[in-house]
Amino acid sequence: MTAYLTPQNHARVKIKAKTKSRWQAIDCLIDTGFSSGLALSESFLSLFNLSPVAEQEFELADGSSIFFDVFKIKTKFRNKEKEVLAVFTKSKDNILGLEFLNNLKLVLDLKEKNVSLN
């Protein structure tokens, strides 16, 4: 799975997450302003057999705060497995944050229209 840019220059990446029955491909927006691992659409929650490990307060872009149940999810990127914290939101988009990016090299070159994640 590789990182890519949309025509609007949004950096995205396709990862896999371990569900109840298989590895599920998930397309995510890369968001370095998001401190956790993943924020997935609520539509994915039924695919997992998860119990919350915590509840955490998050500050939104408008400065308001919201609490979410936090789950541990096994993910895979470039055949390397990593367990990260995830929340499920009402958003239709999926967000990949700093916890997931930890120990990876993210290069965003808008001049050359290129993004890489290694």
pLDDT in tens, 17-66: 999 999 999 999 999 999 999 999 999 999 999 999 999 998 888 999 99
Q: Looking at residue 71, what is its pLDDT?
A: 97
- Give the tens place of pLDDT for each residue, 54-109: 999 988 889 999 999 999 999 999 989 999 999 999 999 999 999 999 999 999 99
Q: Please tell me the distance from the alpha carbon of residue 42 to that of residue 10, in angstroms, as a whole number.
A: 22
Number of folded domains that form the chain: 1
Report if residue 100 sits inside a domain. Answer: yes
In a domain, 24, yes or no: yes
Q: Using the predicted structure, report yes or no on whether residue 2 has a pLDDT greater than 90.
A: no
Count of CA atoms in the C-beta half-sphere (13 A) of 77: 25
Average pLDDT of 104-118?
94
Look at residue 112 and tell me whether its pLDDT is greater than 90. yes
d(CA 108, CA 5): 9
Residue 8 lies in a domain: yes
Q: What is the pLDDT of residue 60?
A: 82
Q: Output the domain CATH number for residue 88.
A: 2.40.70.10
Q: Is residue 118 part of a domain?
A: no
Where in the sequence is the domain holding 23, given as residue range(s)?
3-113
- DSSP states of 2-28: -EEE-TT--EEEEEEEE-SSSEEEEEE
Residue-level pLDDT at 61: 82
* pLDDT value of position 1: 56
